[in-house]
Amino acid sequence: MIKMTATGSDIRRMAKRAKSTIEQGGAELGHGSAVSMCGVTHAFSGKQALDGLDIEVPYGRVTVLLGPNGAGKTTAFRAITGALEPDEGQVESLGFDPVSQGSSLRRRCGVVSAKPALYDRLTGRDNLLFAAELHGMGRRIDARLNEVAGRFGILDALESMVGGYSTGMKTRLALARAVLHHPELVLFDEPTSGLDPESAQAVLALIRDMTVDGSTVVMCTHLLSEAEGLADHIVMMEAGRAVIAGSPESLTERFWPNPVVELEAEDPRILDRIASWDVVISYERSGMVARIEMADLNELPDLVTSLVRDGARLGRIDPQRPTLEDLYFMIRRNEIPERSGVGSADSAIRGLAPVGHNRSHHFDSAETSPIASIDSVVPSHGSTITGDAAGSLNK
341: alpha, beta or left, given left = phi > 0 and alpha = psi -120 to 50?
A: left
Q: How many angstroms separate the Cα of 99 from the Cα of each of 94, 184, 294?
A: 13, 18, 51
**56 lies in the same domain as 174:** yes
How does residue 201 score in pLDDT terms, banded at 50, 70 and 90?
Answer: confident
| Residue 383, domain member (yes or no) | no
64 and 126 belong to one structural domain? yes
Beta bridge partners of 261: 292, 319
What is the pLDDT averaged over residues 113-121?
A: 87
Considering the domain architecture, whether residues 204 and 343 belong to the same structural domain is answered as no
- 130-144, 187-201, 322-336, 367-381: lowest mean pLDDT where? 367-381
Q: What domain range includes position 183?
A: 8-20+29-251
pLDDT band at 337 (very low <50, low <70, confident <90, very high): low
pLDDT band at 1 (very low <50, low <70, confident <90, very high): very low
More confident residue, 206 or 272: 272
Q: What is the pLDDT of residue 87?
A: 93
Indicate if 72 and 144 belong to the same structural domain: yes
**pLDDT tens-digit readout, 34-44:** 999 999 999 99
Chain centroid offset of residue 133 CA? 30
**151 and 45 both lie in a single domain:** yes
Residues 149, 215 within the same domain: yes
What is the average per-residue pLDDT within 28-50? 83
CB within 8 Å of 195: residues ≥ 6 apart: 168, 171, 172, 203
- Answer with the one of 220, 251, 282 that is the final residue of a domain: 251
Inside any domain, residue 320: yes
CATH number at residue 264: 3.30.70
pLDDT at residue number 90: 93
Looking at the fold, whether 175 and 240 belong to one and the same domain comes out as yes
- What's the mean pLDDT in 23-39? 62
This prediction has a pTM of 0.67
Residues 111 and 207 in one domain: yes
Nearest to 111 by CA among 35, 32, 166, 25: 35
Q: Are strands 289-294 and 360-362 parallel, antiparallel or unpaired?
A: unpaired
Task: Decide if 390 is inside a domain.
Answer: no
Amino acid present at 37? M
CATH of the domain at 168: 3.40.50.300
- The answer to the question of residue 214 being in a domain is yes
For residues 50 and 77, give the distance between their C-alpha atoms in angstroms, rounded to a whole number: 11
User: Range with the lowest mean pLDDT among 138-142, 272-276, 332-336, 377-381?
Assistant: 377-381
**Mind listing the pLDDT tens digit for each residue in 51-105?**
999 999 999 889 999 888 888 998 999 999 888 999 999 999 999 999 988 888 8
In a domain, 224, yes or no: yes
- Same domain? For 216 and 328 the reply is no
- Averaged pLDDT score across all residues of the chain: 75
Q: Kindly give, in sequence order, each residue whose CB lies less than 8 Å from that of residue 324, ignoring residues fewer than 6 positions away.
A: 224, 225, 227, 228, 231, 234, 248
- Number of domains composing the chain: 2
